[in-house]
Chains A and B, each alone.
Chain A
Amino acid sequence: MSEIPFVFPNDVHPPWSIMIVLYPYITGLVAGAFVVSALYHVFHREALKPVARLALVTSLCFCAFATLPLLLHLHRPERCFNVLVTPSVTSAIAGFGFIYSAYMLVLVVEVWLVFRPAIVEQANSLTGAKALFYRVLALGVTDITDRSRAIDSRLIRVLAIMGIPIACVLHGYVGFLFGAVKANPWWSTALMPVIFLISAIVSGIAALILLYQFISWRRGETADRECVGALARYLWMFLVLAASLEGLELLQMAYEAGGEWPILRALLTEHLAVSYGLVQVLIGSLVPLLLLLTSFTRRLPARLVMFSSGLASLLILVQVFAMRWNVVVGGQLFSKSFRGFVEFPLHWMSREGLLAAAVILTLPLAALWVAGKILPIWQPAEAGTLADAR
Chain B
Amino acid sequence: MNRIVALWRDTRHLWVLLILVVGIGAVALMARARMVPESYGETGPYRARARDEIAAKPSVLIADATCLECHADVGEERAESLHKAVRCFHCHGVGHEHVALARKAAENPDLSVPPAAEWDGNFRTDIDLYVTEDRATCLACHQAVVGMPEDFKKINVAEHLENMGASETESRETCFECHAGHDTAP
Contact = CB atoms under 8 A, between A and B. Distances in A.
Interface of A: 81, 84-86, 88, 105, 109, 112, 116, 138-141, 143, 145, 147-148, 151, 155
A85 B32 contact: yes
Contact of B21 (A105, A140, A148, A151): A105
A141 B13 contact: yes
Nearest to A82: B35
A151 B10 CA distance: 8
Contacts of A109: 17, 21
Most buried by A among B13, B20, B45: B13
B17 to A, nearest CB: 6
Most buried by A among B6, B11, B16, B37: B11
Interface string B11-54: 11110110011000000100010011100100001010000000
Chain B facing A: main interface SS: helix
Contacts of A143: 9
Interface of B: 6, 9-14, 16-17, 20-21, 28, 32, 35-37, 40, 45, 47
A65 to B, nearest CB: 20
A124 B106 CA distance: 87
Given A85-B36, A86-B36, A109-B17, A141 B10 contact: no
A125 B21 CA distance: 28
B158 to A, nearest CB: 29
Contact of A139 (B10, B17, B28): B17
A103 B16 CA distance: 20
Nearest to A84: B32
Contacts of B10: 145, 147-148, 151
A112 B13 CA distance: 11
Contacts of B17: 109, 112, 139
Given A88-B45, A105-B21, A139 B13 contact: yes
Contacts of B40: 86
